[in-house]
Amino acid sequence: MAKEVFKSVATLLEGVTVECVSRDHKFILDEPPELGGADKGMNPCEALLSALGACKCIVAGAFSKAHGIDIQDLKIEVEGDLDPDGFLGKNKEAKIGFSEIRTTINIKSSSDEDKIKEFIEFVEKTCPIADTLVNTANYTTDVNIEG
């Protein structure tokens, strides 16, 4: 098995602004003012939806040629429902994270419609982020405390 390890480091800056660094890339995540932040970037929920949409775009882009699909335009909209009363502790019945995530794939292509639909099914099955969200991984947490 050709296991690869991906890594990111998140550092809390002012307030709830967070710098995320992976290899030589970085972006800032934050919260909008109504969720107590300075709005210096997307929030993690939006970043998760972005990762999902981007991953499907990348799988489509990477495999289109091999599947004989011509992609002229590809725009993937992802939206998710989340009840902030869950993590805010206002409602113990509310799910903490997303309850539903909807993807809308908008593709412009000269290929046969049935072939495109078959290809989209392939993309959905082959997307690592979609798989991670549906087929739960094993999670561990370690804590290092410095006084």
Of residues 95-134, those binding a second copy (CB under 8 A): 95-110, 113, 116-117, 120, 124-134
Site track 45-74 with a second copy (rule: CB under 8 A), x = hit: xxxxxxxxxxxxxxxxxx--------x-xx
In the complex, the smallest distance separating the C-beta of residue 133 from a second copy, rounded to whole angstroms, is 7
10 Å CB burial of residue 123 (0-12, 13-18, 19+) is buried
Q: Does 8 bind a second copy (CB under 8 A)?
A: yes
**Cβ distance 47 to 29 under 8 Å?**
yes
- Tell me which residues in 15-44 interact with a second copy (CB under 8 A): 15-16, 18, 20, 22-23, 25, 27, 29, 31-32, 36-37, 41-44
Quote the CA–CA distance of 65 and 68 in Å, as a whole number.
5
CA neighbor of 121 nearest in space, from 50, 59, 48: 59
